[in-house]
Amino acid sequence: MKYKVVYEYVENSTKGMYMMKADLAFINGEVITMDKNSRIVEAVAIKENRIIFVGSNLEVKQLIESKTKVVDLCGKTLLPGFIDSHIHLPMYGLNQLSISCKASYKKSIDDIKQELRKKAKTVAKGQWIRAWGFNETTIKENRYLSIQELDEISTEHPIMITRTCGHICLVNSKALEIAGINSQTSNPDGGVIERDSNGDLTGKLIETANMRMNEIAKYTEKELRQAVRIASDHFVQAGITSIHEAGVSDSDTYRLLQEAVKNNDIAVRVYAIICTLNNSHEFVEKMLAAGVLTGTGDERFKIGPAKIFTDGSSTGPTIATREPYTSDPNNHGILYYSEEEIYRVLGEAHKKGYQITVHAQGDRAIEMYLNCVERALKEHPREDHRHRIEHAGISTPDLQERMKKLGVIPIPNPPFPYEFGEIYVNNYGERVNYMYPVRDFIDKGIICAGGSDAPVTDYNPLIGIHTAVNRKSSSNSEIGLNQKVTVMEAIKIYTINGAYASFEEDIKGSLEVGKLADLVVLDNSILRQNQNCIKDLKVEMTVIDGQIVYKNEAVVRA
Ligand SMILES: [Zn+2]
C-alpha cells in the first residue's frame, strides 16, 4: 500500500508540478541524480518529505515562492543520501562509550595500558572496562597484550579489549572467571580459547569464543539508548541517510533499535538484518519461528534478511580460504558451520520467503554459501529473491560467475583496503587482486552495494568511494589496482545499489520526482576533485525526509 501511495503522489506532483511550491530548493549545483541515465543537473526541489523536481535552474524558479528556503550550491555536489549496506550501529555507538585503541596517538602497549589504568580509577569494582579498535600490526611492539599485563591493571574489574575486526578479544582473569572459562574449558565450535605452550590461558578469545564473551560483557539498556543516538548522529554527519544494520549483540539490542526509531531518537533509516553476533543461527531460527519476515516495516525501519556467520575476519586473519594463507601454510581459517548446517538454517529461511545472507569473507566460505543458494533455488525456485552475501572478501572469477548466475548481491567493503591493505598482501598474497572486487562485479553485471562494516573501519562513505576509485592503502600501497572503478560507479554502490539490496529502489537511492527527500551536500565538486583527494571532501549538509538534519556550520561559513 505504501508504494501505491508513492506512485499516486508522483502522478499528482508531476501533473501539478508548477502549482505546487517547494519548501526547500537547491540551485546552481553539481546534482548527481543516480537515475537510470546518470543525469547530472543543476537543481532539486523538495515539498514535505518528497522530491518534487529535478532539473535546471531556470525551471526550478517556478516552484520557488517567498516561503521556500533556497540553498545556492555554488557548484558543489549534491547527491542522494549515502546508504551504508553493512554497518553495526549499536556496536559503533557502544564503542564510543569505551576506550578507543584506534586513536592515532596510541602507538604502544604502554599507551593503551595507561588509558586502561585511568579508566579503572573511575569505574566501580566489578564493572566492565572495555576498549576497542586494537590492531597489533599498527602498534610499536607488534603484539597482543598478555593476560598478565591486563591483570596488572586490575583483578577486580573485568577487562575486555576488542580487536579492530570485532572477531577477537583479549580479556583478563576476572573476565574469564565471570565467563566460567578455565584452562580445562574446551574450545567452542568455530572458536578458540587460546592457551600457551604450558596450557595456560592467554586471555585471547577467537571467533565464537569472542562472540560469547561479547554477550557476557553486556552493556546496560541506558548505555545502549545513549549509544544508538551517538551512532546515528555521527553517521548523519557523514551524509549517511540509510543503513543496513548488519548484526547486533542480542535480541534486547534489536528491540532497543526499534524503540529508538519509534521515539525519533535516531534519524537514519534502518534495514535491520536478522542476526546476532553470538549464535547467529539460533537468533535466525527464533525469528523464523516467530514469523518475523523480511520487508516488514516502513520507510524508517524494515526487517532485513536472515543472516548467519560462516567464517572469520579478513584481518584476524581467520577467514576460511581454499588455499592456505600466504603468511602461514598451515592456516585455512575458521568455519562457523558446516555446509549442511548453513543449508538447514538458511534453506529454511529461503523456503519461507526471507531474503538470506551470510557473513562470508574467504573463498571457501563464499563457495559453501553459494552451494546452499544454488540448492535452495533448485528445490524452491523463487524470482527476485535478492539473496546477498556480506563482505564477499576473496571473490575469485569462478565465484563471481556463480554470483551472477544465481542473482546473488555481494556487499563488499570498499574502504577495507585503505586501512588493512598491507595486512591483506601479507596474508593473502596475489589474492588481493580479487578482494572486494568491485570492478569485476560491475563488468560482469553483478549488482553490488557497499558497506563500511563500522566500527571495523571508518564509517565515512567518502573513504569508501575514495578507496574504490584509487585502491590504495592509507600508506599509499597499491592493493589490487585492477579493481579500480570510476567515481560515478563508486557513488552508485553507496546509493541506488544499496536501495536495491533492501528492495527499496522505488523510494530512495536516487534523486527522482516522488522519491524520499534524502540527500547530502558536499563542500566541493566530487567530479572535478582530484581523485586522490576524494576522502578529504567534507559533508556540508544532510537532509532526511525533507528535513535538514545536519549542517556543518564551519564549512558553510568558510
Ligand atoms: Zn559486519
For residue 477, the CA-to-ligand 1 centroid distance in Å is 25
Quote the pLDDT of residue 3. Answer: 42
Give distance in angstroms: CA of 440 to centre of ligand 1: 22
With DSSP H G I counted as helix, E B as strand and the rest as coil, what are the percentages for the chain, rounded to 5? 40, 20, 40
Cell of 40: 547530472
Cα 524 to middle of ligand 1, angstroms: 31
Q: Which residue has the higher pLDDT, 485 or 6?
A: 485
| Model confidence at 508: pLDDT above 70 | yes
Q: Does position 64 have pLDDT exceeding 80, yes or no?
A: yes
String of b and e for 29-58 (b: at least 16 CB within 10 Å)? Answer: bbbbbbbeeeeebbbbbbbebbbbbbbeee
Q: Tell how far the Cα of 167 is from the centroid of ligand 1, in angstroms.
A: 10
Q: Is the pLDDT of residue 7 over 90?
A: no
pLDDT band at residue 556, thresholds of 50, 70 and 90?
low
Q: How far is the CA of 360 from the centre of ligand 1 (A)?
A: 10
Say yes or no to pLDDT of 9 above 60: no
Q: Residue 558 pLDDT more than 60?
A: no
pLDDT at 378: 98
How far does residue 42's CA lie from ligand 1's centre (Å)?
Answer: 37
What per-residue confidence (pLDDT) applies to 4?
42
Q: Which of 227, 213, 231 is nearest to 166 (CA)?
A: 213
Three-state secondary structure call for residue 473: coil
Residues with Cβ–ion distance below 5 A, ligand 1: 246, 453
State residue 554's pLDDT score. 74
The amino acid occupying position 507 is: I
Dist. CA 391 → ligand 1 center (Å): 8
Report pLDDT digits (tens) over 368-416: 999 999 999 999 999 999 999 999 999 999 999 999 999 999 999 999 9
* Contact status, residue 440 vs residue 448, Cβ threshold 8 Å: no
Beta bridge partners of residue 207, listed in sequence order = 191
What's the confidence (pLDDT) of residue 78?
98
Tell me what the mean pLDDT of segment 14-23 comes to: 69
* Order of strands across the sheet that contains 547-551: 40-41, 30-32, 77-80, 519-522, 539-544, 547-551
Q: Compute the distance between CA of residue 174 and CA of residue 151 in angstroms, rounded to an integer.
A: 8
Q: Report which of 248, 375, 358, 376 is spatially closest to residue 310, judged by C-alpha positions.
A: 358
| Residues, the chain | 558
Q: What is the DSSP letter of 276?
A: B
d(CA 416, CA 209): 24
DSSP per-residue codes, 155-177: SSS-EEEEETTSSEEEE-HHHHH
pLDDT value, residue 18: 52
Looking at this protein, which amino acid is placed at residue 28? N
DSSP string, 196-222: -TTS-EEEEEEEHHHHHHHHHSPPPHH
Between 10-14, 214-218, 243-247, the lowest mean confidence (pLDDT) is in: 10-14
CA of 430 to the centre of ligand 1 (A): 24
pLDDT tens digits, 524-555:
999 999 999 999 999 999 999 999 999 998 76
Residues 513-529: what's their mean pLDDT?
Answer: 97
Interval 447-466 mean pLDDT: 97
Distance 22 CA to ligand 1 centre (A): 40
What is the bridge-based pairing of β-strands 539-544 and 519-522? antiparallel
**C-alpha 74 – ligand 1 centre gap (Å):** 38
Rounded CA separation 175/307 (Å): 29
- Over residues 84-128, the pLDDT tens digits come to 999 999 999 999 999 999 876 667 999 999 999 999 999 999 999
Q: How many CB atoms are located within 10 Å of the residue 136 CB?
A: 17
Query: What is the residue-averaged pLDDT of the chain?
Result: 94
Tell me the CA–centroid distance for residue 442 and ligand 1, in Å.
22
Question: What residue has cell string 533448485?
Answer: 378
Rounded mean pLDDT of 299-313? Answer: 97
pTM: 0.93
| Nearest to 220, CA basis, from 245, 249, 263, 244 | 249
- Cα of 184 to ligand 1 centre, how many Å? 31
Grid cell of 379 as nine digits: 528445490
Q: Which residues contact 318 (CB under 8 A, 6 or more apart)?
A: 165, 167, 168, 206, 207, 311, 312, 333, 334
Q: Give residue 87's pLDDT.
A: 98
Using the mean position of ligand 1's atoms as its centre, give its distance from the Cα of residue 180 in Å: 27
Per-residue pLDDT tens over the stretch 255-304:
999 999 999 999 999 999 999 988 999 999 999 999 999 999 999 999 99
Report residue 137's pLDDT band, with 50, 70 and 90 as the boundaries: confident
Q: Is the pLDDT of residue 337 over 60?
A: yes
What is the whole-number distance in angstroms between the Cα of residue 323 and the centre of ligand 1?
23
Nearest to 264 by CA among 236, 295, 229: 229
Cell of 441: 562485479
Phi, psi of 517 (to 5 degrees): -85, 75
Is residue 318's pLDDT more than 70?
A: yes
Q: Is the pLDDT of residue 441 over 60?
A: yes
148 — phi, psi (to 5°)? -65, -40
- pLDDT tens profile 161-213: 999 888 999 999 999 999 999 999 999 999 999 999 999 999 999 999 999 99
Please tell me what DSSP assigns to residue 357. E
Going from the Cα of 65 to the center of ligand 1, the distance in angstroms, rounded, reads 46
> Does the pLDDT of residue 1 top 50, yes or no?
no
Cα separation, 478 vs 432, in Å, equals 10
Is residue 475 predicted with pLDDT exceeding 90?
Answer: yes
Over residues 21-41, mean pLDDT: 97
Separation of CA 91 and ligand 1 centre (Å): 10
In this prediction, residue 89 carries a pLDDT of 98
Whole-number Å distance, alpha carbon 93 to ligand 1 midpoint, is: 14
34 touches 491 (CB < 8 A):
yes
Average pLDDT over residues 308-326: 96
Question: 299 φ, ψ to 5°?
Answer: -70, -15
